[in-house]
Amino acid sequence: MAIRGSLSEAGLPDVLQLVSLGGKTGCLGVSRGTEFGFIYFDGGRISHASVVNRQLSTEDSVYFLFTWTDGSFSFEPGVVPPGEVERESIDPQSLLLEGARRVDEWTLIRKKISSLDLVFALDRQLLPLIDGHRDVEALIRESGFGEFTVAKELYGLVSADFVMPIGKTAPAVARADHADEYRNLAIAFYRAAMYDEAIREFQTVLDLKPGDAAAGFYLGLIALQRRDWQTAAAYFQRAVAVSPTAVAPYHNYIVALLRNGEVDRADAAMDDLLARGGRNDATVLTASAAIALMRGDPLRADADLHAARTITGSARPPAAWFHYAGLTAALRGDLERARALLEEGVRLHPGAAPLLNNLAVVYERLGHYGAARDAAERGIALSASIAQLHTNLGDLLLQTGDHVSAHAAYRRARQVSGG
């Protein structure tokens, strides 16, 4: 379950302790205006933390976020750090005392250094980076030290009258060369499932760089999450136009078209993608098989699925592959092959309720009513929100003479489907 709230009502140290004591795994996203940071947890321990557009270690990132007293937080369970980052295992309790001490010191430091756009000049001696032009932000960036360390050193220098503030840098103007910063912030929002904030930042990227493929791609992903198929298709089409050789935007464009019921356009786009090298991608071939089944061509679907599994090799095919492979075999009249494929799929993907639904149908057609009922009930236990599972169970119960239970199953199917 997601946890959301305001930092003005619940301080970050309290939220951190709550997530830690609960042994949670996921991402705690923290935002304040245009600033954003995230802390990843693995079993209640911190595995990675970062602040967008700041080069800080995991510990310094957490200490920096402790200083935020306004803004919002959102914990999304199950979200893991990006694959390229180094993961750690830090006890949050070890950071809380040091974080509290640093927050107290910040109160004193800010009396001398009230803003990161202050510029300092030397008063008594020359120090390498303090030149009357660099502001505090630049000193942090160029020194390689964290914000707290630089501010603390400056506090000492200001208190001893070694340096003095002489003004502020001019505010930055949004230009196309700042698009990377907005994009990084937007991606961080996306990873934390803060989609409204992500849309705002990605739109800024497109205002600065209308041809930015990544922004269009992520906006398409958000539209898919929200089941806005037409908007998703439009964004992915835009991304495809910018990067015509990229497979992922093209594939998602096709998915959005199919979800929107535009099979003809999806089929034409698939032909184009296959011609551009999509035949070397198992996911693309599986999607091609799905379109072939919609077109009533199980022979083409079978060929695409066979090619997809050949590419996959010894790796485990995804649940979607088994779904379409079982359906294809059934449509070709080979129910035993469909059963074997779906049983393999359920064994490899025990949490895939749609596969259990399909397996129940195949068992029923083979006359194995007990196995069919067991498969349907296992699917409902995994995902009671699939109306077809309740309908299939009702059909099975009706065939075995249990009319009362059958009508109850049909009633649950209508409730789930909103009927």
Among candidate residues 60, 61, 57, the one with its CA nearest the CA of residue 38: 61
HSE-up (13 A, CA, CB side) for residue 81: 19
Helix (H) or strand (E) holding 325: helix 319-331
Question: Coil, strand or helix: which one is 396?
Answer: helix
Longest dimension (CA), the chain: 97
Q: Tens of pLDDT along the chain (419 residues)?
A: 567 888 888 888 888 888 888 888 999 988 887 788 899 999 999 999 988 878 788 988 888 888 888 888 888 888 888 877 889 999 888 787 776 666 656 565 555 555 655 554 543 443 555 555 667 677 666 666 666 676 766 666 666 555 566 566 655 444 445 778 888 888 888 888 888 888 888 888 888 887 788 888 899 999 998 889 988 888 888 888 777 777 888 888 888 998 888 988 889 989 888 888 888 999 999 999 999 999 899 999 999 999 999 999 889 999 999 999 999 999 999 999 999 999 999 999 999 999 999 999 999 999 999 999 999 999 999 888 888 888 888 888 888 888 888 888 888 888 887 75
Prediction pTM value? 0.55
Q: What are phi and psi of 135, to 5 degrees?
A: -90, 180
What is the DSSP secondary-structure string of 206-226? HHH-TT-HHHHHHHHHHHHHT
Q: Can you read off the two tokens belonging to residue 134?
A: 């660099």
- With b meaning 16 or more CB within 10 Å and e meaning fewer, what string describes 232-246? bbbbbbbbbebbeee
